[in-house]
Structure 1
Amino acid sequence: MFQPTASFSSFSVDDVEKARAFYGGTLGFDVADQMGGLLVTVPGGQTVFAYPKPDHVPATFTVLNFEVADLDAAIAEIEGLGLHLEHYPSTPEMPVDGRGVLRDPDSGMGIAWFTDPAGNVLSVVTRAAAGAGHP
């Protein structure tokens, strides 16, 4: 039986120093050097590993989600840091508003996306509000 002792996620960046400045400086997370990359401790104590890759191409999907209690407050904080939300096209399956935010009126969930300096997609997301929507 496969029995790991822990797990973590990783993604590539094209510039470790820019990643250090972003994750450690702009976002204020703990960042430690590890194997030529960065071990980033995110809220909740989990870690992610950002490793250098000379031919880095950002993923076309979200690589890291930050759960927040208040989506609009988190968006204001992100914008206050000089970051900008990504604006994906609104579709019937993904009806985003004019700010680029997807909200589910049934569940109370919401999500907004932004990128790191390497173009990796990150998000702030709320879970379903207590008593909202379906279990």
Structure 2
Amino acid sequence: MFGQAQAFSGFSVDDLDAARRFYGEKLGLRVEEAGQGDMRLLTLRLGGGANVLVYPKETHTPASFTILNFPVDDIDAAVAELERRGVTLERYTGFDHDEKGVVRGGDGDGPAAIAWFTDPAGNVLSVIQES
């Protein structure tokens, strides 16, 4: 039934203007805004034609899991660029982060490397290198 549908994901934020600046300026994504007043929405235009809807919610609670993963070819370069743009990496208990804040795996059961950060609303994002 949904096999041919172009599904999309969405998540909430507490400040749509801060989200627009973060995703557009800090992460360099194409961000489109639509609507007016309480009905304003952002659409993040990602590679491969994927779209993610971002909507304001007064009672927003940050997701307790990673909502967006950004695959990269070189995680060290991606982390350096995020830091240059003022993005701070998160360090989570139970993971062995290196001095850059990257968790390196490479055992074949998961990504070769991953680093997490949050948007202004506290939602968790990551850069991930598969091999």
TM-score by length of 1: 0.84
Structure 1 runs of 4+ aligned residues shifted over 4 Å read: none
Q: Is the 8 A contact 1:11 1:50 kept in 2?
A: yes
Counterpart check, 1:100 vs 2:104: no
Aligned mates of 1:6, 1:68 — CA distance in 2: 23
Counterpart check, 1:8 vs 2:12: no
* Structure 2: runs of 5 or more not aligned: none
Assess, with a 3 A threshold, how the Cα gap between structure 1 residues 105 and 55 changes in structure 2: closer, same or farther: same
Structure 1 counterpart of 2:41, which letter? Answer: G
CA deviations 1:45-78 (Å, max 9, x no partner) are 3111110000101011100010000010100000
Aligned mates of 1:39, 1:27 — CA distance in 2: 14
Structure 1 counterpart of 2:66, which letter? Answer: T
Q: Which residue of 2 aligns with 1:18?
A: 18
Identity of aligned residues (%): 50
Counterpart check, 1:84 vs 2:75: no
Structure 2 counterpart of 1:48, which letter? Answer: V
Deviation of 1:31 after TM superposition, in Å, equals 1.1
Deviation of 1:6 after TM superposition, in Å, equals 0.3
* Structure 1: runs of 5 or more not aligned: 130-135
Q: Which residue of 1 aligns with 2:33?
A: 33
Q: Is the 8 A contact 1:88 1:100 kept in 2?
A: no
2:47 aligned to 43, 51, 74, which one? 43
Q: Is the 8 A contact 2:42 2:55 kept in 1?
A: yes
Assess, with a 3 A threshold, how the Cα gap between structure 1 residues 46 and 2 changes in structure 2: closer, same or farther: closer
* SS of aligned partner of 1:105: coil
Aligned mates of 1:88, 1:98 — CA distance in 2: 13
